[in-house]
Structure 1
Amino acid sequence: MNGKAQPGEWLDLLEEIATEGQLIQASFSAPRRKDDDTPRKLTVRPIKLKTGLFYQFERHQNNKVFHENVSPEKVKEQLQSTMERYKQALFKTPDADVQVLANKKGQLSLITHAKESKREAVPQQHNRNKAYVLPDGEPVPFLISLGVMTAEGRVVKAKYDKFRQINRFLEMVSDVIPDLPRGKELTVVDFGCGKSYLTFALYHLLAIKERLPVRIIGLDLKQDVISTCSKLALELGWDNLSFSVGDIAQFEGHTSVDMVVTLHACDTATDAALLKAIGWEASVILSVPCCQHELFRQLSQPLLKPLLKHGILKERFSALVTDAIRANLLELAGYRTQLLEFIDLEHTPKNILIRAVKGHKTDNDQLKHEYEQFRDFMGVSPFMENKTK
């Protein structure tokens, strides 16, 4: 099956996959057209759902991940239509890896790389057990001290939601570790650190697991909380983790910070933290906003009156508008920005995390125009924008 595909070979491969379940994984790359919305990469894998075998098509688009589960009866047609949009694909089967290439005329070539030992096409369980960054069953000193784990490493039942939240946060941090600078001591500031579960987790990940030179500063307004956290850091022997009482807007003493974290900072305190991060040109920003009142008081677009006349809808809508504005202003400041689903924090049901990485290149004129149109349509004057004028 090498060289130009003979008539039927491509369809034979699809038939083998569809009727005999001979697919381990397929990946499509290099879209044939650059001017449409085809994702740069698309992967397919068999999964086992409660209703039986399906094939999950996963595409990454606009910083989001989309899944579509296709039945074995329809997968052949779906794979064929998908290949019509890409220049190349790789199909992994138990016997071989088959590379499919499309030339400018759309003709397909199949190149087969046979495997010495047969592999098994085993569908993955869709609801398989979660592989955590900090696994249940392995003692972690700071989690034991915080009462999340027992001395044997088992998660305390009443603290399992907190354990999941910590791991979700660490997953999001792990994704951006490659974006942090190297060859220097990293400085991280956690604004509004509170009881500091996530601050301790962040230090554990960066300093203990990744062995990076790092200094983390936790800042909060509550003296008793800061005292407790400082005592625990001392007991753990974590000399490069410190805590201070202070207000975000008044925080001074640093000219360069590599990562800024702000979790459940209320209302415009989140904006103040983001502005600090932009001013420092921080490489990574992680923010979970809390209550957002600023734009709730400003929204007055007449066309949205059917929505805005209901207080609960206006509250939720204003929170979304606020985070959209923050994301766009971060992009205008040169950040690649994502809004990700988080796990509800202890003090707030807000579950959106803003993750921004420095170095994003975009058409600022177009982005600025789109942002200004959106802002003016909503009739708002955002804190972040006003403070930068």
Structure 2
Amino acid sequence: MNELKNILEQNLNDNFISAVLSNPRDEKLAAKVKVRPVLMKDIRVYQMETFRGNQAFHENLSADEACEKMLEAMENMKQMQLVTADAEFSVLISKKGKVTIKKKQKKAKMRPLDLNHNRKKQYILQEGVPVPFLQDLGVMTEEGKIVHARFDKFRQINRFLEFVEDILPQLDSGRELTILDFGCGKSYLTFAMYYYLHELKSYDIRIIGLDLKTDVIRKCNGLAKKYQYDKLTFLEGNIADYTGAEEVDMVVTLHACDTATDFALAKAIGWNAKVILSVPCCQHELNRQMKNDVLSPIMNYGLLKERMAALVTDGLRAEYLKREGYDVQVLEFIDMEHTPKNILLRAVKTGRRADNEESIRACESFLRVTPTLGRLLDEKGEL
């Protein structure tokens, strides 16, 4: 940790922009930690925001205190993204405690933060900075102001990009990366990913969006051409039948309905994708299957059974991903449609397969369910 300590001591100054500590070993201690500079009575301090469950806890610290607290927090975290005015640092800590630090020098130095206004929420895509795709999608005006009625979409896009930001250390920035977005729809988040990764972070990426709606695909391809996003392509097709790629680095599936999510996850696992981001939707399959005499007093109520089926579906999906060698987090996601369907599964390939086959089968037997993802993976294993 000495190298990390030196970096923190050298950068907790006027050049410091932000730091995000993530991928916890124990979410009960903290799910994520964010650090940013603020002014308190004209004195620069470092605000440390620690997320536990649905709560956020704040501390205002001196540079020395922030350094000490961040090093302490990293004992529970596997990665850190630290941004200064002239560089970005990616920190990875292995299970055995090995620290790997990569530094990326910025082509142009950022302006120092205006701390007098820094109490306002700092979004990755900032209000006041015109972004063409947000303008065409009706989220932003030509001057860069957010359309009031679309602020929830703006907030959701930024929340999604925070999830993407967290997994950047897992992606190889030295080669072209392939990202597949299944069920991309109007593609707010697809365009946001391309803009963020290619335009802001300078990653060499190729993104393919897939959806069943012909008119939506035509419009999205038109916008990609307009913005000269040469490596952003949209195709019409079904998730289950897609065979257009042999190797994929990251798979995104947002609100793919019912078992379409399972087909997307199975495809991602088959491609050995390094990262999977999935926001499931409409988990009807297990709702139709679930039967249990012990739980019948609860499952006699349709609404309760529906919600329970959704949780069981996503819980089993997470367990299957762990069985296949992924580190999985079940996170809260801000949903554009204001529904309870706001769970995001974030899976990072580690190769360490969980020994959870027995517990998966016991749960399925108890509820008398056979999830599509399990069937697809079992069929794949028999080939």
TM-score normalized by structure 2? 0.70
Give the C-alpha shift of residue 37 in structure 1.
10
CA distance in 2, matches of 1:382, 1:134: 38
Residue type of the alignment partner of 1:209: L
CA distance in 2, matches of 1:207, 1:44: 24
Structure 1 pair 382/137, CA: closer, same or farther in 2 (3 Å)? same
1:370 aligns with 2:359: yes
Helix, strand or coil for the counterpart of 1:215? strand
Give the alignment of 1:156-175 within 5 angstroms.
156-175=147-166
Give the C-alpha shift of residue 66 in structure 1.
6.0
Match of 2:135 among 144, 162, 184: 144
User: Is 1:345–1:351's contact at 8 Å kept on the other side of the alignment?
Assistant: no
Tell me what 1:304 maps to: 295
User: Is 1:217–1:241's contact at 8 Å kept on the other side of the alignment?
Assistant: yes
Give the alignment of 1:187-266 within 5 angstroms.
187-266=178-257
User: Is 2:251–2:276's contact at 8 Å kept on the other side of the alignment?
Assistant: yes
RMSD over aligned CA atoms reads 3.4
Number of paired residues?
A: 298
1:268 aligns with 2:259: yes
Residue type of the alignment partner of 2:344: L
User: Is 1:331–1:360's contact at 8 Å kept on the other side of the alignment?
Assistant: no
Tell me what 1:289 maps to: 280
Structure 1 pair 58/134, CA: closer, same or farther in 2 (3 Å)? closer
User: Is 1:262–1:287's contact at 8 Å kept on the other side of the alignment?
Assistant: yes
Structure 1 pair 43/214, CA: closer, same or farther in 2 (3 Å)? closer
Helix, strand or coil for the counterpart of 2:329? strand
Give the C-alpha shift of residue 162 in structure 1.
0.7
Tell me what 1:25 maps to: none
Tell me what 1:131 maps to: 122
Give the C-alpha shift of residue 374 in structure 1.
2.0
Q: Which has the higher Rg, Structure 1 or Structure 2?
A: 1
Structure 1 pair 231/296, CA: closer, same or farther in 2 (3 Å)? same
1:388 aligns with 2:377: yes
Give the C-alpha shift of residue 180 in structure 1.
1.1
* Amino-acid identity (%): 51
Residue type of the alignment partner of 1:138: V
User: Is 1:92–1:98's contact at 8 Å kept on the other side of the alignment?
Assistant: no
1:337 aligns with 2:313: no
Residue type of the alignment partner of 1:308: M
Residue type of the alignment partner of 1:382: P
1:346 aligns with 2:337: yes
User: Is 1:189–1:217's contact at 8 Å kept on the other side of the alignment?
Assistant: yes
Deviation readout 1:58-115 (Å, 9 max, x if unpaired): 576xxx6765799xxxxxxxxxxxxxxxxxxxx9669989979xxxxxxxxxxxxxxx
Helix, strand or coil for the counterpart of 1:355? strand
Give the C-alpha shift of residue 129 in structure 1.
2.5
Structure 1 pair 153/252, CA: closer, same or farther in 2 (3 Å)? same
Give the alignment of 1:36-115 within 5 angstroms.
39=29, 58=50
Structure 1 pair 209/359, CA: closer, same or farther in 2 (3 Å)? same
Helix, strand or coil for the counterpart of 1:261? strand
Deviates more, 1:346-355 or 1:148-157: 346-355
CA distance in 1, matches of 2:187, 2:242: 18
User: Is 2:124–2:158's contact at 8 Å kept on the other side of the alignment?
Assistant: yes
Residue type of the alignment partner of 1:330: L
The runs of 5 or more residues in structure 1 that have no matched partner are: 1-35, 48-54, 71-90, 101-123
Give the C-alpha shift of residue 370 in structure 1.
2.3
Structure 1 pair 139/94, CA: closer, same or farther in 2 (3 Å)? closer
CA distance in 1, matches of 2:123, 2:204: 24
Helix, strand or coil for the counterpart of 1:388? helix
Residue type of the alignment partner of 1:299: M
